[in-house]
Each structure stands twice: as C-alpha cells, then as structure tokens.
C-alpha cells in the first residue's frame, strides 16, 4: 500500500471498527475509495477486527465483487440471467472467452479488460444485454460485442491472464 492508501484504510477502520457487523461495510468502503482491497490491507483489517487474516481473505474471496488487484481500465459485464440466457448470452460469453482467453471473473494480464458476470440489468425486454464501463448495451450480437471488444483488445499487448 502507498502511504495515501494506508491512511485511507486507517481512517475507514477507525470510523467503523466498533460498529456491529462492520467487516463488510469496511471492505466496501475500502474498495469504493481505492478501487480494490490491497493485499497489505488484510493484516490491518484483521488486527482492527480481532480476526485472523485467513478469515478476512475468506470473506473477500466469497464475494466476487471484491477485487484484490487494481481495477482494469475497462470492465465488461455480460448478463447471465434467464432472459439473456434464452437470447444467447451463453454464446456471447463463449465468444468473449474465445477473443480474450479470459473467463468470467478474469482480467487481461495488462489490466486493460476485466470480464464479470451480472444477473439482470433490468433490460430483459431487450436481451441479451451487457454493461461496458457502466454503459448499457442491448440486443447484443457477436458483431456488436466485437465492435466494443476489438478497440480494447487492440490496446492489449500482454495477452490474457
Ligand atoms: S436477464 Fe439480462 S437484463 Fe434481465
């Protein structure tokens, strides 16, 4: 952690550690403010919460939305819920994997792209749907997916992780 990151974590712990059920709010606050939960913050969190580092790791790894590495430059969230599945999201997910080499929950080695599943974006009537950097795309086809993916992948020089 940088000194600035350490100060952020210390401030969050100080403000919240006495609250009942504080661990999840603390983890959310750290991720909201730093973009991820640095590995080196685990010891500080464990000490403040009187828990083991393994327990903190277990909670972080249980929830897929917690990240332990800096966020990718771009995030693709493909809807994997029923309406989108019925309209071809499985094939889109396979296409993403074929193009990037990464699975859902994966990130390219150069940090350009992260792929995450999402379960309903409220756009079922226009499924399949996805979010790219927070922007909704509806009635997604392989061609539409390529139009979004290729400019990102062209920046990727290190290949997939
Ligand atoms: S199921 Fe995909 S947007 Fe609702």
What is the tens place of the pLDDT at every residue in 104-138? 888 888 889 999 999 999 999 999 999 999 999 99
Binding-site residues, ligand 1, Cβ < 6 A: 79, 81-84, 120-121, 123-124, 127, 129
Select the more confidently predicted residue: 68 or 56. 56
Which pair of tokens denotes residue 128?
A: 């399949």
63 preceded by cis ω (within 30°)?
A: no
Model pLDDT for residues 13-48, shown as the tens digit of each residue: 999 999 999 999 999 999 999 999 999 999 999 999
Burial of 79 (0-12, 13-18, 19+ CB in 10 A): buried
Alpha helices by DSSP H, listed for the chain, are: 3-16, 23-34, 41-49, 53-62, 82-86, 89-100, 142-155
Query: Residue 48, Cα to own-chain centre: how many angstroms?
Result: 25
Question: In this structure, are residues 110 and 67 in contact, taking their beta carbons and an 8 Å threshold?
Answer: no
Judged by average pLDDT, the poorest of 6-20, 31-45, 78-92, 147-161 is 147-161
Gap from CA of 102 to ligand 1 centroid (Å): 22
Gap from CA of 90 to ligand 1 centroid (Å): 13
- Prediction pTM value: 0.70
Q: What percent of the chain clears pLDDT 90, i.e. is strictly above it?
A: 81
Q: How confident is the model at residue 158 (pLDDT cuts 50, 70, 90)?
A: very low
Choose one of 89, 120, 125 to mutate for the ligand 1 pocket test, by most ligand atoms within 8 angstroms of C-beta.
120
Q: What percent of the chain clears pLDDT 70, i.e. is strictly above it?
A: 96
pLDDT at 155: 76
Judged by average pLDDT, the poorest of 3-12, 30-39, 65-74 is 65-74
Gap from CA of 134 to ligand 1 centroid (Å): 15
pLDDT at 130: 97
């Amino acid at each position: 952690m940088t000194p600035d990151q350490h100060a952020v974590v210390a401030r969050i712990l100080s403000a919240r550690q006495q609250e009942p059920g504080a661990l999840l709010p603390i983890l959310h606050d750290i991720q909201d403010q730093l973009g991820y939960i640095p590995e080196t913050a685990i010891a500080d969190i464990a000490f403040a919460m009187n828990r083991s580092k393994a327990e903190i790791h277990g909670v972080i790894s249980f929830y897929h939305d917690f990240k332990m590495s800096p966020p990718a430059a771009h995030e693709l969230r493909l809807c994997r819920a029923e309406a989108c599945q019925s309209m071809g999201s499985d094939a889109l997910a396979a296409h993403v994997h074929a193009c990037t080499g990464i699975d859902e929950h994966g990130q390219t080695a150069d940090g350009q792209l992260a792929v995450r599943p999402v379960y309903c974006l409220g756009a079922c009537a226009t499924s399949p749907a996805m979010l790219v950097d927070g922007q909704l795309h509806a009635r997604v086809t392989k061609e539409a997916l390529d139009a979004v993916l290729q400019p990102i992948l062209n920046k990727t020089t290190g290949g997939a992780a």
